[in-house]
């Protein structure tokens, strides 16, 4: 059992951790510019900002991953110099990263052991792991291999590993990005308990309604500088977003009534084995997407979304040519290039390495996906001005912010790179667009630009299929929604009927009938309340 007493020693208003004038310079780029931040025990403090605002740099400084160029940290009023993460953990600072650091072939206990100091036996550590996970309502079997677990269970490992260090300060980076609504509610219960135990929590999220629900204080960064510290409960999501980006965030909406036409994308009884031993078997997936329609596919990561994207994009060839039909053409046996020639476009989840080659220039990346269905190549020769024209047009249309005209992909912030990848595909005016996690980890301004572009494309008659874990995103743009679970795809339902409760139950494995019953129970409970 974690002993909370040791986490509550500071007086009520004495900061547990302070950053005083923290600056971090990379060459001529100032990632943090004299940032002051006070974190108190018994509070959940949000750290907000656009992509590239300096959030990651600041928390990495707090966790000892990088050294500041100027300024200092103070812990319980004393100057704190961290030699690395192990030093931070020894001082009572723990961090749960957005991207998990787990080995799939190891057990839960073995993964947890790798993050601890090894001062207790493996058997004792395993027993303590089981005890802590039970105490906090985050049940884990120490002996199960990680590859057998859901994404929500994997996140439990990261949180429980942090709690086993008895932290005074817990930093969480986008902790609900991969959770169902029910799992997110369970996590919130844990966070409120940690707050009541007298711990300090620093919470990074782009979900502003979530921040308003959870957090006592919010600090907003913009361009590396602290813009404001406020009580998020007294703000609206719109006002928080405005402070983050320095301007109003445009409302995402369809520009005109979108009339669905004939199906432009058909998936017929698609089944095949994964090429990854830990992948998901697709089982009889059938669905259609009409022109002028956005179909949203929800689901917790790891339920077959990657395998579905690979089958639709042509990265993996389907068993039968009519498993995938694009604008009337059987495409199941066609390559990515040949599917692009049919007017299809694809945006994968992973920005660097899949969506772009990190060390290639933007113009070269535009050529990689655009050569098959554009005028970038003539008689075997690359038209360099045309590739640069694509970069310029994408930059202007989608507000891609970059240091020079044609930089390497890896030099862009996550949000700006995502706008470039989505933009270069949309500007081709594809008849069919398949996009996975279109706004994963991007700020409110970039998300609004991308979502509006998807709506506008469908409004021009394209069929758009969006795979996303963000239910709020799907509710904002989708006409119909379906859920993937263990390789199965549920029957699509109208967005108006797709409540968060119903979708969450489907994401957790409930049958449609069970999900409907669960939704009705929620409604009865709400009326009774």
DSSP-derived secondary structure for 123-184: HHHHHHHHHHHHHTT----TTSBGGGS-HHHHHHHHHHHHHTT--SEEEEESTTTT--HHHH
Is 398 found in the same domain as 315? yes
Q: Residue 515 above 60 pLDDT?
A: yes
Q: Can you give 241-299 as a three-state secondary structure string?
A: HHHHHCCCCCCCCCCCCCCCCCEEEEEEEEEECCCCCCCCCEEEEEEEEECCEEEEEEC
* 251 within some domain: no
Q: Residue 241 above 60 pLDDT?
A: yes
* 518 within some domain: no
Q: Say what the pLDDT of residue 279 is.
A: 84
Taking residues 76-82, report their average pLDDT.
Answer: 93
Ranked by mean pLDDT, the top range of 13-17, 101-105, 230-234, 511-515 is 230-234
Contacts of 488 (CB under 8 A, 6+ apart): 283, 284, 285, 304
Token reading at 254: 């369809």
Q: Residue 11 above 50 pLDDT?
A: no
Is 222 found in the same domain as 101? yes
Is 92 found in the same domain as 32? yes
Q: Say what the pLDDT of residue 10 is.
A: 41
The band of 67, judged by pLDDT with boundaries at 50, 70 and 90, is: very high
Is 295 found in the same domain as 223? no
The band of 529, judged by pLDDT with boundaries at 50, 70 and 90, is: very low
Q: CA torsion, points 129, 135, 137, 143, in degrees to nearest 10?
A: 20
Mean pLDDT of the chain: 89
Of 110, 30, 13, 121, the C-alpha closest to 70 is: 30
Task: Quote the domain boundaries for residue 270.
Answer: 263-498
The band of 519, judged by pLDDT with boundaries at 50, 70 and 90, is: low
DSSP states of 377-403: EETTEE-HHHHHHHHHHHHHHHT---S
Are 417 and 351 in contact, with CB atoms under 8 Å apart?
A: yes
Is 459 found in the same domain as 375? yes
The domain that contains 354 carries what CATH number?
3.40.50.300
Q: CA torsion, points 288, 292, 298, 304, in degrees to nearest 10?
A: 40
* 56 within some domain: yes
* 504 within some domain: no
Q: Say what the pLDDT of residue 153 is.
A: 85
Q: Residue 51 above 80 pLDDT?
A: no
Is 301 found in the same domain as 201? no
Is 268 found in the same domain as 230? no
The band of 258, judged by pLDDT with boundaries at 50, 70 and 90, is: low
Q: Say what the pLDDT of residue 510 is.
A: 80
Backbone angles phi, psi at 443, to 5 degrees: -75, 175
The band of 489, judged by pLDDT with boundaries at 50, 70 and 90, is: very high
Are 212 and 235 in contact, with CB atoms under 8 Å apart?
A: yes
Are 436 and 309 in contact, with CB atoms under 8 Å apart?
A: yes
Q: How far apart are CA 283 and CA 333, in angstroms?
A: 18
Is 163 found in the same domain as 296? no
Q: Say what the pLDDT of residue 6 is.
A: 45
* 36 within some domain: yes
Q: How far apart are CA 62 and CA 171, in angstroms?
A: 9
Q: Residue 260 above 80 pLDDT?
A: no
Q: Residue 159 above 60 pLDDT?
A: yes
Contacts of 523 (CB under 8 A, 6+ apart): none
Q: How many helices (H) and strands (E) does the chain have?
A: 17, 23
* 409 within some domain: yes
* 395 within some domain: yes
Contacts of 204 (CB under 8 A, 6+ apart): 46, 47, 48, 55, 59, 171, 172, 173, 174
Q: Residue 12 above 70 pLDDT?
A: no
pLDDT in tens, 379-419: 889 999 999 999 999 999 998 888 899 999 998 877 789 99
Using CA atoms, how far residue 276 sits from 302, 355, 411, 469, in Å, is 12, 20, 31, 21
Contacts of 55 (CB under 8 A, 6+ apart): 47, 48, 49, 204, 221
Lowest mean pLDDT among 68-72, 248-252, 296-300: 248-252
* 61 within some domain: yes
Can you say whether the dihedral through the CA atoms of 492, 497, 499, 505 is positive or negative?
Answer: negative
Are 432 and 344 in contact, with CB atoms under 8 Å apart?
A: yes
Determine the distance from the C-alpha atom of residue 217 to the mean position of all C-alpha atoms in its chain, rounded to a whole number: 23
pLDDT in tens, 120-138: 899 999 999 999 999 898 8
Contacts of 89 (CB under 8 A, 6+ apart): 117, 165, 167
Half-sphere CA count of 116, side-chain side, radius 13 A: 27
pTM of the model: 0.76
Q: Say what the pLDDT of residue 149 is.
A: 84
Segment holding 433, helix H or strand E: strand 432-436
Is 268 found in the same domain as 199? no
Determine the distance from the C-alpha atom of residue 159 to the mean position of all C-alpha atoms in its chain, rounded to a whole number: 17
38 or 251, which is more confident? 38
Taking residues 359-374, report their average pLDDT.
Answer: 92
Question: N- to C-terminal Cα distance for the chain?
Answer: 34
Contacts of 185 (CB under 8 A, 6+ apart): none
Is 182 found in the same domain as 116? yes
Total structural domains within the chain: 2
Q: Say what the pLDDT of residue 195 is.
A: 96
Q: Say what the pLDDT of residue 517 is.
A: 65
pLDDT in tens, 438-481: 987 677 888 888 999 999 999 999 999 999 988 889 999 999 99
276 or 79, which is more confident? 79
Last residue of a domain, one of 245, 277, 293: 245
Q: Say what the pLDDT of residue 256 is.
A: 63
Is 227 found in the same domain as 90? yes
Is 422 found in the same domain as 290? yes
Instruction: Give the Cβ contact number of residue 480 at 10 Å.
Output: 22
Surface-to-core class of residue 147, CB atoms within 10 Å of its CB (0-12 exposed, 13-18 middle, 19+ buried): middle
Q: How far apart are CA 23 and CA 169, in angstroms?
A: 21
Q: Say what the pLDDT of residue 255 is.
A: 65
Contacts of 288 (CB under 8 A, 6+ apart): 263, 265, 266, 267
Percent of the chain exceeding pLDDT 70 equals 94
Q: Say what the pLDDT of residue 472 is.
A: 86
């Amino acid at each position: 059992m974690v002993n909370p007493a040791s986490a509550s020693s500071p007086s009520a208003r004495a900061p547990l951790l302070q950053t005083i004038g923290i600056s971090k310079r990379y060459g001529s780029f100032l990632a943090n510019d004299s940032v002051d931040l006070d974190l108190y025990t018994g509070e959940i403090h949000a750290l907000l900002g656009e992509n590239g605002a300096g959030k990651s740099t600041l928390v990495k400084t707090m966790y000892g991953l990088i050294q500041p160029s100027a300024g200092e940290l103070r812990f319980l009023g004393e100057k704190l110099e961290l030699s690395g993460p192990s030093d931070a953990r020894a001082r009572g600072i723990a961090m749960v990263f957005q991207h998990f650091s787990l080995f799939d072939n190891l057990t839960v206990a073995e993964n947890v052991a790798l993050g601890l100091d090894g001062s207790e036996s493996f058997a004792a550590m395993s027993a303590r792991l089981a005890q802590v996970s039970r105490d906090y309502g985050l049940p884990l079997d120490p002996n199960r291999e990680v590859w057998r677990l859901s994404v929500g269970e994997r996140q439990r490992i990261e949180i429980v590993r942090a709690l086993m260090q008895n932290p005074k300060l817990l930093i969480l980076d986008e902790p609900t990005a991969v959770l169902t609504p029910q799992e997110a509610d369970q996590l919130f219960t844990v966070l409120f308990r940690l707050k009541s135990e007298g711990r300090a929590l620093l919470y990074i999220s782009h979900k502003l309604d979530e921040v308003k629900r959870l957090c006592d204080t919010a600090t907003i960064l913009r361009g590396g500088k602290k813009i404001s510290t406020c009580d998020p409960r007294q703000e609206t999501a719109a006002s928080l977003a405005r402070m983050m980006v320095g301007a109003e965030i445009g409302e995402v909406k369809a520009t005109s009534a979108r009339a669905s036409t004939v199906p432009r994308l058909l998936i017929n009884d698609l089944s095949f084995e994964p090429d990854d031993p830990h992948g998901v078997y697709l089982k009889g997936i059938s669905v259609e997407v009409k022109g002028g329609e956005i179909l949203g596919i929800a689901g917790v990561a790891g339920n077959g979304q990657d395998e579905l994207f690979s089958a639709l994009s042509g990265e993996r060839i389907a068993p039968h040519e009519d498993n995938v039909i694009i604008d009337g053409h059987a495409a199941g046996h066609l390559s990515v290039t040949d599917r692009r020639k049919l007017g299809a476009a694809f945006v994968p989840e992973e920005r660097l390495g899949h969506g772009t080659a990190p060390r290639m220039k933007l113009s070269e990346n535009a050529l990689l996906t655009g050569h098959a269905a554009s005028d970038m190549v003539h008689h075997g020769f690359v038209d360099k001005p045309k590739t640069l024209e694509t970069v310029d047009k994408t930059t202007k249309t989608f507000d891609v912010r970059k240091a020079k005209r044609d930089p390497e992909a890896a030099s862009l912030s996550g949000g700006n790179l995502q706008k470039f990848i989505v933009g270069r595909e949309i500007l081709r005016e594809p008849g069919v667009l398949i996009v996975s996690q279109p706004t994963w980890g991007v700020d409110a301004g970039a998300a609004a630009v991308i979502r509006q572009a998807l709506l506008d494309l469908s409004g021009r008659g394209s069929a758009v299929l969006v795979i996303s874990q963000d239910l709020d995103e799907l509710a904002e743009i989708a006409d119909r929604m379906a859920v993937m679970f263990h390789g199965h795809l549920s029957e699509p339902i109208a967005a108006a009927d797709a409540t968060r409760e119903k979708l969450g139950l489907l994401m957790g494995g409930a049958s449609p009938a069970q999900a409907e019953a669960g939704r009705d129970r929620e409604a009865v409970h709400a009326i009774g309340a």
